[in-house]
Amino acid sequence: MQLLAEKFTDPSDASFSVQVKYMPYHDPFLHFHDDYELVAILNAEGTRFIGDHVGEFSGDEVVLVGPQVPHCWHIAESYNGKKPKAIVVHFTENFLGKDFFQIPEFSGFYGLLQQSVRGMLLKEDALAKIIYKMKGLADARELRRVLLLLEIFEKINANQNRKLLASTTYTPLANRDNYQRINKIYEFVNRNFAKSINLKEVADLVHLSPAAFCRYFKKTTQRTFFDYVKEVKVGYASKMLRESSLSIAEICYASGYNNVANFNRQFKQLKLRTPGQYRRAYRQNKIDSQTI
């Protein structure tokens, strides 16, 4: 995984940018930028990275990401047979003029912008309407384009069903070296989680001793390295439980565990259900694409 520091140049006749991207099944680029980003990920399943947050997603989702927050979506595969794509909107705080968001009518939405430094996942209530309007942005022109974005802001502000993703203590990483180190670690774990991971081997990747590496990873991500490995393994196991007919023991070993009892225990710690309970709940539609 590598870091991209992106800078977006809006068209000369536009105050904000809108892009539609058809996404590969594996997007390796953790990136950040000076703009706010409103992104709709459609027809996809995989893992999202927002700040120090790592989580599964499935289906369609919309996330508001603040400036300087590293983020990316690793697309494992398509969802419902359609090609994964993203609708990406970038805007600055002053794109409608200096202090525009400071007027009384925008006080609520401006507060949400400040919270987006943790990444804001928009859920259920207005999700379909927000996505519908974001699709319209790509073809809208002139005043209609601005009005449509303001309508999206209104839907976001009115939607009470939203979730902040990064931890309460998260602050953007201080420098590019930090990003590059974390990227190397994430990439290594994603490639090797199904086998035994040697701590020294990972520490060597970023030129640290094992003890220094553990301190660095905890300080940077607000979790221990082995907690992160557990999240990746359980995430993979969850997918297999939902989508395959393999036995729980087979999924245990395919996810990098060599002991079913330990697998069951760690899975329940993260999912609040045993693997068997999780599979039954999913098949009974008690677990939806927003809560997997």
Q: 12 — phi, psi (to 5°)?
A: -65, -20
Domain shared by 145 and 194, yes or no: no
What is the count of structural domains for the chain? 2
Domain shared by 13 and 143, yes or no: yes
Residue 264: CATH number of its domain: 1.10.10.60
C-alpha distances out from residue 83 to 27, 59, 91, 134, Å:
14, 11, 26, 17
Domain shared by 126 and 200, yes or no: no
Radius of gyration of the chain (CA): 20
Domain shared by 187 and 159, yes or no: no
Domain shared by 74 and 156, yes or no: yes
* Interatomic CA distance for residues 2 and 30, integer angstroms: 6
**pLDDT tens figures, 10-38:** 455 688 999 998 877 655 567 788 899 99
The domain in which residue 200 lies consists of: 176-283
Domain shared by 201 and 273, yes or no: yes
User: Which of 119, 141, 164 delimits the end of a domain?
Assistant: 164
**pLDDT tens figures, 186-244:** 888 888 999 889 999 999 999 999 999 999 888 877 789 999 999 889 988 988 898 89
Q: What is the pTM of this model?
A: 0.71
Domain contains 248:
yes
Domain shared by 90 and 197, yes or no: no
Residue 151: CATH number of its domain: 2.60.120.280
User: Which of 164, 197, 220 delimits the end of a domain?
Assistant: 164
Domain contains 247:
yes
Domain contains 170:
no
Domain shared by 6 and 84, yes or no: yes
Domain shared by 18 and 124, yes or no: yes
Domain shared by 83 and 185, yes or no: no
How many other β-carbons are positioned within 10 Å of the β-carbon of residue 204? 13
How would residue 9 be classed by pLDDT, with cut points 50, 70 and 90?
very low
Domain shared by 7 and 145, yes or no: yes
User: Which of 164, 188, 204 delimits the end of a domain?
Assistant: 164
Closest by CA position to 141, among listed 266, 273, 249, 15: 15
Q: Is pLDDT above 90 for 264? A: yes
Domain contains 252:
yes
pLDDT at 108: 87
Domain contains 12:
yes
